[in-house]
């Protein structure tokens, strides 16, 4: 009986995926909303092997068990704080994810009129080749720094600084961009004081451009992206628009999830799609216009690519 139920669920899931492929093929436009679950499905996990490979020394000293917790630890010095964060930023911003989920997703939408709204700050969309002019990172970017006060509304690219910081700890950067600790090398857990980033205007410490409180800097680039996204929505209020939500939870539903529901409710020709590991659901008001698929987004995206309907 259990086997029969399982097979029925598999058939229903396959039917949903085939339906989604048809909907995407017929779409006039695709609005793609992505949360942390998409990067998780691509292998950007904050525990397990990735954590142990790059942060075993910090974990042994300070007794935390995942990258996220380590990011909030009150390190005794800014040199240790930036040693941790430079490794964190490098592997989650400048290294490619273990799985090509973003590249596969791009192949599905690249010939469509699309726009991406994401709360992720790892820049995976741009690394995979998505058009920068069709991306809106609402919550910041690991690749940017800002004044911690802030005394002015400007952000600064950190790639060169982050590379210098990780190499100062004994790491090397391989030809594929991966961070490598040479055999026999014990990594430093501090960066040289002269590498600590300070605001070029007021001299205060700089921090990551991540939305945590009211000090988050929305610079010129942020506002331009916000306007491009608003224009895209205005230009696609009607027609066969697919609102494709992937890996979005309920931490900040007001950014992607709730607005997507509202847009679909207002446009009877649109479709709401929810891909989520556990919480794939839609409100009853738009249930008939929705496709909700539970499970690993990477698997669903891979199956979409292989379908030839």
Q: Confirm whether 7 is domain-assigned.
A: no
Q: Which of 196, 225, 243 is where one domain is finished?
A: 196
**Within this chain, do residues 222 and 272 fall inside the same structural domain, yes or no?**
yes
Q: What is the pLDDT of residues 132-145, one digit of tens each?
A: 999 999 999 999 99
Q: What percent of the chain has pLDDT over 90?
A: 92
Confidence of residue 6 (pLDDT cuts 50, 70, 90): low
pTM of the model: 0.93
Q: Confirm whether 3 is domain-assigned.
A: no
**Within this chain, do residues 84 and 104 fall inside the same structural domain, yes or no?**
no
Average pLDDT over the chain, rounded to an integer: 95
Confidence of residue 8 (pLDDT cuts 50, 70, 90): low
Judged against a pLDDT cut of 70, whether residue 9 lies above it is answered with: no
* Distances, alpha carbon 43 to alpha carbons 38, 183, 260, in Å: 9, 25, 26
**Within this chain, do residues 133 and 273 fall inside the same structural domain, yes or no?**
yes
**Within this chain, do residues 18 and 114 fall inside the same structural domain, yes or no?**
yes
Q: Confirm whether 111 is domain-assigned.
A: yes
**Within this chain, do residues 81 and 101 fall inside the same structural domain, yes or no?**
no
Among 154-163, 215-224, 276-285, which is the least confidently predicted range? 276-285
**Within this chain, do residues 25 and 106 fall inside the same structural domain, yes or no?**
yes
Provide the pLDDT for residue 108.
96
Judged against a pLDDT cut of 50, whether residue 124 lies above it is answered with: yes
Count of domains observed in the chain: 2
Q: For residue 37, what is the domain's CATH number?
A: 3.40.50.1220
Q: What is the pLDDT of residues 19-50, one digit of tens each?
A: 999 999 999 999 999 999 999 999 999 999 99
**Within this chain, do residues 256 and 173 fall inside the same structural domain, yes or no?**
no
Judged against a pLDDT cut of 90, whether residue 89 lies above it is answered with: yes
Among 6-15, 184-193, 221-230, 249-258, which is the least confidently predicted range? 6-15
**Within this chain, do residues 102 and 32 fall inside the same structural domain, yes or no?**
yes
Q: What is the pLDDT of residues 290-306, one digit of tens each?
A: 999 999 999 999 999 99
**Within this chain, do residues 238 and 124 fall inside the same structural domain, yes or no?**
yes
Q: Which of 196, 223, 245 is where one domain is finished?
A: 196
Judged against a pLDDT cut of 50, whether residue 1 lies above it is answered with: no
Q: What is the pLDDT of residues 210-227, one digit of tens each?
A: 999 999 999 999 999 999
**Within this chain, do residues 26 and 101 fall inside the same structural domain, yes or no?**
yes
Q: Confirm whether 57 is domain-assigned.
A: yes
Provide the pLDDT for residue 237.
96
Q: Confirm whether 8 is domain-assigned.
A: no
Query: Stretch 237-244: mean pLDDT, rounded?
Result: 97
Q: What is the pLDDT of residues 174-196, one digit of tens each?
A: 999 999 999 999 999 999 999 99
Q: Which of 196, 224, 246 is where one domain is finished?
A: 196
Judged against a pLDDT cut of 70, whether residue 2 lies above it is answered with: no
Q: Confirm whether 267 is domain-assigned.
A: yes
Q: Confirm whether 209 is domain-assigned.
A: no
Judged against a pLDDT cut of 70, whether residue 242 lies above it is answered with: yes
User: What domain range is 240 assigned to?
Assistant: 14-44+97-138+215-309
Confidence of residue 5 (pLDDT cuts 50, 70, 90): low
Judged against a pLDDT cut of 60, whether residue 279 lies above it is answered with: yes
**Within this chain, do residues 180 and 293 fall inside the same structural domain, yes or no?**
no
**Within this chain, do residues 266 and 282 fall inside the same structural domain, yes or no?**
yes
Q: Confirm whether 147 is domain-assigned.
A: no
């Amino acid at each position: 009986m259990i086997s029969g139920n399982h097979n029925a669920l598999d058939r229903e899931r396959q039917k949903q995926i085939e339906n989604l492929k048809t909907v995407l093929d017929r779409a006039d436009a695709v609005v793609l909303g992505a949360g942390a679950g998409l990067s998780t499905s691509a292998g950007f996990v904050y525990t397990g092997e990735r954590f142990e490979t790059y942060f075993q020394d910090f974990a042994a000293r300070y007794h935390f068990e995942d990258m996220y917790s380590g990011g909030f630890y009150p390190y005794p010095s800014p040199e240790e704080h930036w040693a941790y964060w430079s490794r964190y930023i490098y592997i989650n911003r400048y290294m490619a994810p273990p799985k090509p989920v973003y590249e596969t997703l791009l192949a599905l939408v690249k010939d469509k009129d699309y726009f991406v709204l994401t709360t992720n700050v790892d820049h995976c969309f741009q690394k995979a080749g998505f058009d920068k002019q069709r991306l809106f990172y609402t919550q910041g970017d690991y690749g940017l720094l800002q004044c911690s006060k802030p005394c002015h509304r400007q952000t600064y690219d950190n790639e060169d600084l982050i590379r210098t910081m990780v190499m100062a700890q004994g790491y090397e950067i391989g030809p594929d961009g991966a961070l490598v600790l040479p055999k026999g090398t014990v990594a430093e857990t501090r960066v040289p004081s002269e590498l600590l980033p300070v605001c070029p205007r007021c001299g205060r410490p700089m921090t990551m451009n991540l939305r945590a409180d009211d000090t988050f800097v929305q610079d010129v680039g942020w506002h331009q992206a916000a306007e491009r996204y608003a224009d895209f929505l205005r230009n696609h209020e009607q027609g066969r628009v697919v609102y494709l939500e992937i890996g979005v939870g309920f931490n900040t539903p007001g950014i992607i999830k709730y607005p997507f529901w509202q847009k679909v409710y207002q446009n009877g020709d649109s479709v709401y799609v929810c891909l989520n590991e556990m919480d794939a659901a839609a409100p009853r008001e738009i249930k008939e216009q929705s496709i909700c698929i539970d499970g690993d987004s990477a698997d669903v995206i891979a199956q979409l690519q292989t379908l030839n309907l």
